[in-house]
Structure 1
Amino acid sequence: PAGLPLAGLRVVELTTAWAGPMAGRILAWLGAEVIHVESATRLDSWRQHNQVFSRYRFPPDGAGDRPWDRTALFNSQNANKLSLALELKDKAGHAAMLKLMAQSDVVLCNFTAGTLARMGFGYDKLRELNPAIIVTEMPAFGSFGPMANGTAIGPSMEMAAGMAGMIGYRGGPPTTTGPTYLDPMGALNGAAAILTALLHRQATGEGQHIDISQVEAAMQFIGPQILHALATGENPAPSGNRVAWAAPHDAFQAAGDDQWIAIAATSDAAWAALAEVIGMKPDPRFADLAGRRAHEDIIAVALANWARTQDKHAAAALLQQHGIAAAAVHDPRDGATSAYLRHRGYFTPLVHSDIGPVIQEGLPFHLSLTPGYDRFAAPVLGEHTRHVLADIIKLSPDEIADLDARDITSVVPK
Structure 2
Amino acid sequence: MQKIRPMSEKRQLSDIRKELDRIDHNLLEALAFRQKLIQETAHLKRDKQAVLRDPSREHEILSRIGRVAQEQGVDKYFAMNLFRQIIDYSVRFQTDFLMDHHNLRDALSLLRVGYQGTDGAYSQRAVHTHFGSRRNELLSIGHETFRDVVEAVDNGSLHYGVLPIENTTAGSINDTYDLLHKHDLHIVGEEVVRVQHCLVTLSEVPVSNIRRIYSHPQAIAQCSEYLSKLHHCKVEAYLDTAMAAKKVLEDDDLSQAAIASRNAAELYGLHIVSDSIANQKENFTRFVVVAKDPVVCDGQIKTKTSVIMSAAHRKGALAQALNILHEYDLNLTKLESRPSPGNPWEYLFYIDFEGNLASPAAAEALEKLREHSGFIKVLGTYPARIS
**TM-score (normalizing by structure 2):** 0.24
